[in-house]
C-alpha cells in the first residue's frame, strides 16, 4: 500500500509539473501571417523540451531555452490559406483558419483609435464588414510597462471581419484595410496599436532613444521631469477638483416653465430660428446648461402604419427626445463620457405619427461642460422607414430656446489641463512605456508596414518632433526586422483657430515637422487639411483619411498606377522671385493646380523684417504666383499657416496641398 501510494503521489507531482506548449502573444486562431518575408513563430514550453512547429506543410524542430522560450523561423510563404499552424512539445497547440497575406500596424493616438461606429459612413461600413472575411482584426488592449514585455497579461485574439468585430475597430484602419483588400486581393491583417491622448515618446523603445544621439537630451530632460512628479501631482489633484466643482454641472431636471415645450402644438413665440446642426456657442449663447430644439418633418400617408426610425447627429452632451409629444428615447447618463460623440437613433411608434401633416421632434439638450448643441452634418437628421429603407430629411430650419444658462468657466478642460496638469501625470506618457507594453510583445512578428496618425499631443514641441518621428520609424523597423518597412503617416488635420495668425501656429509647425520625415525612404504623408473640423479634434471623416493612406501604400508599396501616377496632393519644393511676383513650384500637380473656394488669405508673405502679411495668389502654369502690395521684397512665402486654415490649393485629382513655409531663392 505504501508503494502504491508513493506511485500515485509521484504521478500527481509529475502531472502538475508537466509543461504546456503555447504560442506567443500575437498568434491565435484566424490570424494573418505575413507573406513574402521570413516568418518567425514563437512560444513557450518547459525548458529543454523539443518542440515541432508546423506552418501548413512546412516543419521545424526547435528546443526551448533556459526560460522555456522557443522560436522557429520559416522561409517566405505565398499569399493564401486557410492553413493550420501547430506546435507539439509537452502538449499540442493548434491555430486554425490562419491566412497568409499582408499585416499592417495601425498606430497612434485617438484619431487612429477612433472607432468605426463613430465615423461618417461607419454604419454602412459596419453593415458590410462581413463581406470581407479575409480581413482579420487584432485590437491591442491599452498596456504600459516600465520594462519590455514578451507577452500580454491576458490572451489577445484575431477576429474575422464582421459587423461585431469591425464596429469598435479603428475607423482609419478599417477603411485603409478594406481598400487594400479590394485592390490587392490578398488577405489583410490589421493590428490596432493606438491609445488616445498619447505623445510619440512612449511609442519609441529604449533602443530608439539610445541609438539616436540627438534624442538623448530629450530623454534626459523628460526623465528629470518625471522624478519631480509626486509633488506636482498633489497640487494638480487639488486644482482639478476645484475646476470640476465649478465647471461640470449635473442636470437638475426640467424646469417647470418648459411644460408643454415638447408638444407639436406648442407656440413658437420666444423661440429663435436656427439652422441644424447648431452649436449654440456659435449662435451667441456662451453657456452650459439646458436648451431645447424643435425640428419638423412631413410623414406621407403611406407610412402611417409602420414604426419608423429617427436619426439625429451627435448631441453634446445629453438628451431627451420626443416625437409629437411622445418621449421616444434619450441618452442622459451623466457617467457616459462619450455621449457627446454618438449619433442618436430612436424608434418612432406608429401611434405617434401624424400622417399628412407636420410632425415635431423636440430635443432637450443638457450640456454639462464644454460645447453644447446638436452637432454633426445636415445629412445626419432624417426619418427612415425600416421596411423600404426610404428616408425623409428633417427640415434643416428649426427652433431653439434656452431653458437654463450657466456661465462658461474662464477656460475649458482642455485649456485648463494643458496649463496645469503635469505633463507626465499618466505613466503611459513616459518614454518607451507603450512600446514596452504594446509593441514589444508583437516583435519579431513579420509585418508588411505601418500607418500612423499621431501628433496632436506633441503640438507643443515641433522642433523635438523633427527628431522623434524619424526615431520612431527607425525603432519600429529594427524591432520588426524590416529596414525597408513602409511607414505612412497622417499630417494633422485642421482644428482650432481659423485665423492666419501672422506669427506662430503650433499646429502648423507640427505639420512642418511631420513633413520633414518625408526625407526618409519608404515613407509617405497624407494631407488632411481639408477634412478636419475646427471645433472637433476628432473629425468624423475617417474614410477619406484611410483611403488616402491606402493610396500611398498602393502606389509606393504595391506599385499600382493611380490617377496617372498621382496619389497625393501638391508639395511645395521651391520659390523664386520673378517680375510678376514670387513663383512657387510643386511636385504632384497631376492634371494641374487649382485654387478653390477657401480663405483668400491662405497665402502670406514676409520681407526681411519677418512680419507676415496677406498675399494674393493665382495659378500660372505649374506654379502659384504670390504677391502683396505691402511687401516689396518678398523673402518668405507660406500657405495655410494656422491651426485650422481653410484649404484652397488642390491638384486636379482632388488632393489638397500640404501647408508649407519656404524661403525665396536668392537672385
pLDDT tens per residue, range 538-573: 999 999 999 999 999 999 999 999 888 899 999 999
Extended strands (E) in 412-539 = 449-453, 487-490, 523-526
Chain centre to alpha carbon of residue 41: 30
CA-based Rg of the chain, rounded to a whole angstrom? 29
Ranges 16-30, 47-61, 516-530, 552-566: which has the least confidence:
16-30
- What is the structure's pLDDT at 15? 38
pLDDT tens per residue, range 211-229: 777 788 888 888 888 988 9
User: Can you tell me the distance from the alpha carbon of 180 to that of 134, in angstroms, rounded to the nearest whole number?
Assistant: 11
When pLDDT is cut at 50, 70 and 90, the band that residue 396 belongs to is: very high
Tell me the pTM.
0.79
Section 154-177 average pLDDT: 96
When pLDDT is cut at 50, 70 and 90, the band that residue 355 belongs to is: confident
pLDDT tens per residue, range 269-290: 999 999 999 999 989 999 999 9
- What is the structure's pLDDT at 11? 45
Q: DSSP per residue over 377-419, as a string?
A: -GGG-EEE-TTT--EEEPPSEEEEEEEEEEEPPSS-HHHHHHH
Section 368-383 average pLDDT: 92
Section 464-487 average pLDDT: 96
Answer with the residue of higher pLDDT: 2 or 631: 631
pLDDT tens per residue, range 52-66: 999 999 999 999 999
When pLDDT is cut at 50, 70 and 90, the band that residue 424 belongs to is: confident
Extended strands (E) in 427-540 = 449-453, 487-490, 523-526
For residue 386, which of 321, 313, 315, 305 has the smallest C-alpha distance?
305
For the cut 80, the answer to whether the pLDDT of residue 402 exceeds it is yes
Answer with the residue of higher pLDDT: 377 or 4: 377
User: Can you tell me the distance from the alpha carbon of 545 to that of 538, in angstroms, rounded to the nearest whole number?
Assistant: 12
Q: From edge to edge, which strands make up the β-sheet containing 272-275?
A: 272-275, 397-407, 287-298, 358-367, 318-323, 326-331
pLDDT tens per residue, range 78-101: 999 999 999 999 999 999 999 999
For the cut 90, the answer to whether the pLDDT of residue 427 exceeds it is no
- What is the structure's pLDDT at 570? 97
User: Can you tell me the distance from the alpha carbon of 325 to that of 258, in angstroms, rounded to the nearest whole number?
Assistant: 13
For residue 252, which of 288, 294, 306 has the smallest C-alpha distance?
288
Answer with the residue of higher pLDDT: 507 or 4: 507
Tell me which residue has cell 461607419. Answer: 122
pLDDT tens per residue, range 444-458: 999 999 999 999 999
**Residue 552 contacts residue 488 (beta carbons within 8 Å):** yes
Amino acid at each position: 500500500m505504501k508503494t502504491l501510494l508513493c506511485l500515485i503521489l509521484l504521478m500527481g507531482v509529475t502531472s502538475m509539473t508537466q509543461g504546456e506548449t503555447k504560442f506567443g502573444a500575437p498568434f491565435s486562431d484566424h490570424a494573418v501571417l505575413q507573406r513574402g518575408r521570413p516568418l518567425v513563430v514563437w512560444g513557450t514550453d518547459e525548458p529543454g523540451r523539443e518542440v515541432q512547429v508546423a506552418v501548413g506543410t512546412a516543419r521545424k524542430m526547435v528546443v526551448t531555452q533556459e526560460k522555456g522560450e522557443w522560436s522557429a523561423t520559416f522561409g517566405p510563404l505565398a499569399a493564401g490559406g486557410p492553413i493550420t499552424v501547430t506546435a507539439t512539445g509537452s502538449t499540442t497547440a493548434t491555430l486554425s483558419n490562419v491566412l497568409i497575406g499582408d499585416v499592417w500596424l495601425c498606430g497612434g493616438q485617438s484619431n487612429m483609435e477612433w472607432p468605426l461606429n463613430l465615423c461618417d459612413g461607419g454604419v454602412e461600413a459596419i453593415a458590410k464588414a462581413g463581406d470581407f472575411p479575409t480581413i482579420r482584426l487584432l485590437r491591442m488592449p491599452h498596456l504600459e510597462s516600465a520594462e519590455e514585455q514578451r507577452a500580454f497579461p491576458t490572451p489577445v485574439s484575431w477576429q474575422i471581419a464582421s459587423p461585431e468585430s469591425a464596429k469598435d475597430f479603428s475607423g482609419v484602419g478599417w477603411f485603409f484595410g478594406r481598400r487594400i483588400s479590394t485592390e490587392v486581393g490578398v488577405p489583410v491583417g490589421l493590428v490596432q496599436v493606438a491609445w488616445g491622448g498619447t505623445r510619440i515618446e512612449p511609442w519609441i523603445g529604449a533602443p530608439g532613444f539610445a541609438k539616436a544621439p540627438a534624442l538623448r537630451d530629450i530623454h534626459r530632460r523628460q526623465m528629470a521631469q518625471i522624478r519631480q512628479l509626486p509633488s506636482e501631482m498633489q497640487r494638480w489633484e487639488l486644482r482639478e477638483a476645484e475646476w470640476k466643482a465649478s465647471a461640470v454641472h449635473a442636470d437638475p431636471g426640467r424646469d417647470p416653465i418648459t411644460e408643454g415645450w415638447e408638444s407639436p402644438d406648442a407656440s413658437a413665440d420666444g423661440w429663435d430660428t436656427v439652422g441644424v446642426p447648431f452649436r449654440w456657442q456659435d449662435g451667441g449663447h456662451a453657456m452650459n446648461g439646458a436648451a431645447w430644439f424643435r425640428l419638423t418633418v412631413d410623414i406621407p400617408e403611406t407610412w402611417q402604419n409602420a414604426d419608423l426610425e429617427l436619426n439625429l447627429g451627435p448631441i453634446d452632451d445629453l438628451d431627451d427626445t420626443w416625437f409629437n409629444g411622445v418621449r421616444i428615447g434619450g441618452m442622459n447618463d451623466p457617467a457616459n463620457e462619450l455621449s457627446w460623440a454618438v449619433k442618436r437613433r430612436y424608434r418612432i411608434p406608429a401611434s405617434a405619427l401624424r400622417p399628412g401633416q407636420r410632425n415635431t421632434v423636440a430635443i432637450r439638450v443638457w450640456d454639462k461642460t464644454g460645447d453644447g448643441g446638436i452637432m454633426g452634418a445636415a445629412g445626419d437628421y432624417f426619418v427612415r422607414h425600416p421596411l423600404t429603407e426610404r428616408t425623409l430629411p428633417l427640415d434643416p430650419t428649426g427652433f431653439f430656446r434656452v431653458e437654463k444658462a450657466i456661465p462658461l468657466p474662464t477656460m475649458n478642460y482642455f485649456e485648463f489641463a494643458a496649463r496645469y496638469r503635469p505633463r507626465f501625470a499618466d505613466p503611459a506618457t513616459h518614454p518607451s512605456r507603450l512600446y514596452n507594453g504594446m509593441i514589444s510583445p508583437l516583435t519579431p512578428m513579420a509585418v508588411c508596414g505601418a500607418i500612423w496618425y499621431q501628433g496632436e499631443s506633441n503640438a507643443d514641441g515641433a522642433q523635438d518632433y523633427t527628431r522623434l518621428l524619424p526615431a520612431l520609424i527607425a525603432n519600429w523597423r529594427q524591432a520588426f526586422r524590416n529596414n525597408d518597412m513602409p511607414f505612412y503617416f497622417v499630417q494633422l488635420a485642421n482644428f482650432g483657430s481659423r485665423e492666419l495668425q501672422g506669427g506662430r501656429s503650433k499646429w502648423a509647425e507640427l505639420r512642418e515637422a511631420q513633413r520633414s520625415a518625408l526625407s526618409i525612404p519608404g515613407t509617405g504623408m497624407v494631407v488632411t487639411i481639408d477634412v478636419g473640423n475646427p471645433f472637433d479634434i476628432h473629425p468624423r471623416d475617417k474614410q477619406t483619411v484611410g483611403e488616402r493612406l491606402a493610396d500611398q501604400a498602393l502606389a509606393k508599396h504595391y506599385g499600382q498606377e493611380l490617377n496617372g501616377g498621382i496619389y497625393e496632393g501638391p508639395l511645395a519644393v521651391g520659390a523664386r522671385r520673378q517680375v510678376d511676383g514670387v513663383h512657387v513650384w510643386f511636385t504632384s500637380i497631376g492634371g494641374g493646380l487649382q485654387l478653390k473656394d477657401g480663405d483668400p488669405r491662405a497665402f502670406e508673405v514676409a520681407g526681411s523684417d519677418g512680419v507676415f502679411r496677406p498675399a494674393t495668389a493665382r495659378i500660372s502654369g505649374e506654379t502659384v504666383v504670390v504677391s502683396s502690395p505691402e511687401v516689396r521684397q518678398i523673402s518668405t512665402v507660406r500657405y495655410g499657416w494656422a491651426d485650422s486654415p481653410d484649404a484652397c490649393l488642390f491638384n486636379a485629382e482632388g488632393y489638397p496641398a500640404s501647408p508649407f513655409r519656404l524661403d525665396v531663392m536668392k537672385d
